[in-house]
Structure 1
Amino acid sequence: MSSASPRPRLEHQNTADIIEHNYFNENQRPAALEKHTALARDFINLHAAAGRRVVLVTSGGTTVPLERQTVRFIDNFSAGTRGATSAEYFLEKGYAVIFLHRQFSLLPYSRHYSHATDCFLDFLHEGPNGSVVANEEYREKMLKVLRQYTSAKRERLLLTLPFTTINDYLFVLRAVSQLMRPLGPSGLLYLAAAVSDFFVPPERMVEHKIQSTNAVDTPTERDAEAAAENEKGSEEEAFDNFDSSPSVPRSKRLIIDLDPVPKFLKNLVDGWAPEGMIVSFKLETDPAILVHKARYSLERYQHHLVIGNLLSTRKWEVVFVAPGQKDRWIRVPQHRRKKTASTVGTSVPVVGPSEDEKPLDPKDLPEGEPEIEIESLIIPAVEELHTSHIKNFVKRQSP
Structure 2
Amino acid sequence: MRKPVRAIKNKILILSNMYPSDNYPTFGIFVKKQVDQLEERGWVSNIISIRDPRTDKFHVLKKYFLWMLKAFFHILFKGNWYKVVHVHYVFPAGIFGLMAKRLWKRRLIVTVHGGDIDKMARKSERIFNLTRTILHEADQVICVGYGLYQDLLNDFHVKEDKISMLSMGVDQNTFQVRDKQAIKKKLDVPEDEKIILFVGNIIKEKGVLELLEAFQGIYQNNSKVRLHIVGPYKNKSFFDQVQEKIKRLDIEEQVVFHGVLSPEEVAYWMNASEMLVLPSWMEGFGLVALEAMSSGIPVVGSDVGGLSILLGDNCGVKFPVKNSDQLANSITNILNDDKRADQLIENGLHRAREHNSDTLLNKVISIYKGESIDEKQTQTQ
**So what's the TM-score if we normalise by structure 2?**
0.33
Tell me which structure has the larger Cα radius of gyration.
1
**So what's the TM-score if we normalise by structure 1?**
0.32
